[in-house]
Amino acid sequence: MRIQRLAGASVEVHGKPVAASGLRITGAAHPIDVWFSAAGDWIGLDSIVAGGKTLSYRLL
């Protein structure tokens, strides 16, 4: 398993863009990107799954 920092990004939360920092976790079949707000709160997760589709979880 490997964890690397991702460049800043904008992640949509409650229909609004939020400045985010991220971590990419690799080592499994598909990398997982985990997103955090500037305050350090978890706001989302993205991964590519079978068939090339994107699986996304977002803070509600």
- pTM for the predicted model, two decimal places: 0.88
pLDDT exceeds cutoff 90 at 26: yes
For residues 33-49, average pLDDT: 95
Integer Rg of the chain from CA:
12
Contacts (Cβ under 8 Å, ≥6 apart) of 30? 47, 48, 49
For residues 17-43, average pLDDT: 94
Give the whole-angstrom CA distance, residue 43 versus residue 12.
9
pLDDT of residue 27: 86
pLDDT band at 32 (very low <50, low <70, confident <90, very high): very high
